[in-house]
Structure 1
Amino acid sequence: MSANQNPAIDFASLSWMKAKASSGEGACVEIAHLPGGGVALRDSKDLGIQPHVYTAREWDCFLEGAKAGEFDRP
């Protein structure tokens, strides 16, 4: 699901968070939980780009794969 499919989302009003492991150099990915369980994802150093929006199921599948090491670098 793309942000363009969600024109009603006011991204500026969301509570954005980033991982504690993120550097202080602006190289951070931030997420915000959406009403209905979805998640918005953005690059903190380029706030002019629309965030990617994922359904709750898409986000859960990603997190499960990340926790299982499926996305670890080779």
Structure 2
Amino acid sequence: MESFANGVPATEIEGVTWVKSSASNPEGNCVEIAQLTDGGFAVRNSRHPEGPALVYTRDEIAAFVEGARRGDFGFVSG
């Protein structure tokens, strides 16, 4: 089981499937997420797939998703 640190080039994370939201705009300006073998998740910018990835634990992602469901980040939407 391989572990990755924040800022690792996304191209170094092999054997994962990057997923982009179906709500992404036509220009592809979105983030992509991949589940890691250690149970964590990596997030990258879809416009720069070779750029750095941010790495989060399952609990961190779960807290973010729950916050989004509750509307905690409503200030982000236009």
TM-score bracket relative to the smaller structure: 0.7 to 0.9
List structure 1 segments (4+ residues) > 4 angstroms apart after TM superposition.
Answer: none
Counterpart code for 2:61: W
> Is there any run of 5+ residues in structure 1 with no aligned partner, and where?
none
2:54 to 31, 52, 55: 52
The equivalent residue for 1:38 is 40
Q: Which runs of 5+ in 2 are unaligned?
A: none
Tell me the distance in 2 between the aligned counterparts of 1:47 and 1:19: 15
Secondary structure of residue in 1 paired with 2:67:
helix
Aligned residues: 71
TM-score of the superposition, structure 1-length normalised?
0.79
- TM-score, normalised with respect to structure 2: 0.76
Q: How does 1:1-74 map to 2 (within 5 A)?
A: 2-4=6-8, 10-73=12-75
Q: Deviations over 1:12-64 (max 9, x none)?
A: 43100011110121201100011232110000111232110001111111111
Q: Which residue identity does 2:13 align to in structure 1?
A: F
Identity in percent: 40
User: Quick check: which one's strand share is greater?
Assistant: 2
